[in-house]
Amino acid sequence: MRIARRTTRIMAAVVLTAGGLTAATVTSAAAAPSVACLSSSNLVSINGTDPNGHWPPYSSARTTANCNDIQVKVTTADFGETCFQPTSGSAYCNNPRVIPANTWTLMATDVKDHTAFWLLFTSTGIRGVAAY
């Protein structure tokens, strides 16, 4: 009986340890690109928009090789979408999405490097940061 209890405890510890290491490894590997993208050297301030809600105001930005995605973190909740200007063809926008306050929000993913884009917010007074 005593040996059975001890064996059960050891097996439980092995299972928990193995499970924990697996989860930690997967989480770290998945989070690594995102953490690098969201480092302070890649952040660009969002300090309002033009009267139509475009950021950057009256302009566009270009994606970089630093990030695979376009992400924003704003101080107040809003709705927004990402619009693109391809090298050939007409501009287009992705589906609008809710942007919660103080949370990184994925605006577009798998965007090619040096792609011209702008963000379209419903609030012209939006503040925060973007990573792209």
Which pLDDT score is estimated for 35?
Answer: 59
Give the separation between CA 44 and CA 70, rounded to whole angstroms. 11
Q: Which helix (H) or strand (E) holds 63?
A: none
pTM of the model: 0.71
Which pLDDT score is estimated for 41?
Answer: 81
- Say if CB 41 and CB 93 are below 8 A apart: no
Give the separation between CA 111 and CA 114, rounded to whole angstroms. 9
The values of phi and psi at residue 75, to 5°, are -85, -20
The burial of 42, by beta-carbon neighbours within 10 Å (0-12 exposed, 13-18 middle, 19 or more buried), is given as: middle
Question: Could you report the per-residue pLDDT of 9-62, keeping only the tens digit for each?
Answer: 444 443 333 444 333 333 333 344 455 788 878 899 999 999 999 999 999 999
Task: Give CATH for domain 42-131.
Answer: 2.60.120
Report, as an integer, the average pLDDT of 73-88: 96
Which pLDDT score is estimated for 87?
Answer: 85
- Every domain of the chain and the residues it spans: 1-37, 42-131
Give the separation between CA 10 and CA 51, rounded to whole angstroms. 65
Report, as an integer, the average pLDDT of 71-85: 98
Q: Which residue has the tokens 């924003």?
A: 72
Contacts of residue 103, Cβ cutoff 8 Å, sequence gap at least 6: 73
The pair of structure tokens assigned to 28 is 């770290």
Which pLDDT score is estimated for 112?
Answer: 92
Question: Could you report the per-residue pLDDT of 87-117, keeping only the tens digit for each?
Answer: 889 999 999 999 999 999 999 999 999 999 9
